[in-house]
Amino acid sequence: MKKKFSSIAISTAVILVMGLTFSSPSQAAAEIKVGDTCPKLAATAKVGLITYKCILVKGKREWSEPWFTALKKNHAIYRTLPADIKAKGKLTFATDPTDPPFQFFSAGNDLVGAEIDLANAVGKVLGVKVEFVSSGFSAIIPGVEAGRFDASVSAFASTTARQKIVDFVTYFNSSRAFLYRKGTLPNIKDETDLCGLKVGIPAGTTMATAIVGLSTNCTTAGKAAIAYSLYPDQATTVLAVRSGRADLTILSAHVSSWWQQNGEGEFEVLLRPTQGADFNGMVVRKGGLSTVMQKAIQQLMDDGTFTTIFTKWNIEKLARAKAEINISTR
């Protein structure tokens, strides 16, 4: 199978991934069962570039990468874990696996990415198992707040509004970029030039909120409103751009670059729109767990593991030197 964009299986909310500790695609295959978890949907469906799957995946991957096998349990940090985490012996992470290079499904149907590696490394430091549950992006924070998940790795931007609901442990920086079909960029320089255009946005993102105000600014100035549409995840948003249903989308710069590099020449990127430098990181339930996560991630930063992970995924320039709780730029 060609490891091209067209062969990458990007999941949406129809995929349920439970009880997994994944490693690289080269490891032994996990047990895969196609069952009745999505009875109203076909087992697989091809839509444009994306293969959607309705599957239940069970199994465990044995990690062999040196940076992972070298990690040891930090008993001092483990002792500070909340009692319920110790009792169940695992951390449950929600993730929207349509956000490469942070979390996505490879051509071999492996859950991979920088934050998947990081979450597994955190589990190793804490001496607990790690479970990933696939979720639509907009459902993750409510799920963490309700206690269905302990935390999430989905490249979340830390904002003061979100911090009222959940805690954040930040460890990388991000900025925004336009992703559009090659040769079709309208005459724009930044978000103030979007009036009258069709813009696709993943639901639940900070841009999904910002686009409302930007459209209002257009009409207040006597211009056409932005014809924006919200999509359930990043993959369907990019498909809307590819098909022409949207003129462009606004994603994190590193994510836009990934789609450009893996999109078989179909996409181009305009970097640095005027709005948007963010601190990004892990979403954590309130109640003391954020301090534990911060200590574990800081250890990974101090011993070089964090840099190794981000370098592996070619995003080392985004890495922060310090893991911090509930900081934000907006």
What lies within 8 Å, CB to CB, of 159 at 6+ separation is 206, 278, 328, 330
Alpha-carbon gap, residue 37 to 15, rounded angstroms: 9
Residue type, 272: R
pLDDT at 263: 83
List, for residues 148-196, the tens digit of each pLDDT value: 999 999 999 999 999 999 999 999 998 889 999 999 988 888 888 999 9
**Lowest-confidence region among 142-146, 224-228, 270-274, 307-311:** 270-274
Whether the predicted pLDDT of 15 surpasses 60: no
Alpha-carbon gap, residue 49 to 242, rounded angstroms: 9
Q: What is the mean pLDDT of the segment spanning 285-296?
A: 96
149 versus 66: the higher-pLDDT residue is 149
Q: What is the mean pLDDT of the segment spanning 264-273?
A: 83
Percent with pLDDT over 70 in the chain:
79
Helix (H) or strand (E) holding 181: strand 176-181
Instruction: For each of the domains in the chain, give its residue range(s) and CATH number, in order of start.
Output: 5-173+278-325 (3.40.190.10), 176-271 (3.40.190.10)
Residue type, 281: G
Evaluate whether 229 touches 208 at the Cβ level (below 8 Å). Answer: no
**Lowest-confidence region among 27-31, 56-60, 93-97, 309-313:** 27-31
HSE-CB at 268 with a 13 A cutoff on CA atoms is 8
pLDDT at 4: 32
What lies within 8 Å, CB to CB, of 155 at 6+ separation is 99, 102, 103, 115, 174, 252, 255, 280
Alpha-carbon gap, residue 226 to 194, rounded angstroms: 6
What lies within 8 Å, CB to CB, of 113 at 6+ separation is 97, 99, 100, 101, 102, 103, 104, 313
